[in-house]
Structure 1
Amino acid sequence: MIVRIMGEGQVRLDDVHLAELDELDDELLAETRSGDEEGFRRTLGALLDAVRRLGAPLPDDALEPSELILPSPDATLPEVREMLKDTDGLIPG
């Protein structure tokens, strides 16, 4: 799976890691819906760190179709709330 972190680039991620990421995604969704800014910040950072740790970065000049797009580390809670509107999270589960 190709994952894009907005403002950073793309990462190739094995599907075997989706369960771990889905747990963080569920937390992020709950914090976004409740307006928990501190939890949102912590969990967004943990989700992005996990993608970076578990995935292999693609070269900067690679333009693969992204199957998943994650917000940038500096995304705001309202921006992510808009991304999550009408979904069950960022990670397909």
Structure 2
Amino acid sequence: MIVRILGEGQFRLDLSELGRLNELDARLEEATNAGDEGAFRQTLHDLLDAVRTGSAPVPDDELHPSDLILPPADASIDDVRTILSDKEGEGLIPN
């Protein structure tokens, strides 16, 4: 699975990592909906870090369609709220 973190690049993620990402995605959605900036910031950091550590970077000279696109590390809670509203309850990572 190819995951893009906006502003960083693409990562080849092993499907075995999806369960952990879905847990973090649910926590991120909860923090976003609650307007809890501290929990939002920490969970976004944890989610992006899980992608970075649970995957291999795709070389810059390779182009692949992204299966998932995640916001950048400096995304605001309002940015993520907008993305989530477009996903109709799926979160950033569809189950």
Unaligned runs of 5+ in 1: none
Structure 2 CA distance, aligned partners of 1:42 and 1:63? 30
Q: Deviations over 1:3-23 (max 9, x none)?
A: 000000000001111001100
Correspondence for 2:14: 14
- RMSD between superposed Cα atoms in Å: 0.7
TM-score by length of 2: 0.95
Q: Deviations over 1:20-68 (max 9, x none)?
A: 1100000000000110100000000000000000000001122200000
Deviation at 1:89, TM superposition (A): 0.7
Correspondence for 2:26: 26
Q: Which amino acid aligns with 1:89?
A: G
TM-score by length of 1: 0.96
Structure 1 CA distance, aligned partners of 2:40 and 2:63? 29
Secondary structure (helix, strand or coil) at the match of 2:62 reads coil
Unaligned runs of 5+ in 2: none
Identical pairs, percent: 57
Kept in 2: contact 1:29–1:88 (CA 8 A): no
Correspondence for 2:38: 38
Structure 2 CA distance, aligned partners of 1:78 and 1:30? 13
Structure 2 CA distance, aligned partners of 1:37 and 1:69? 21
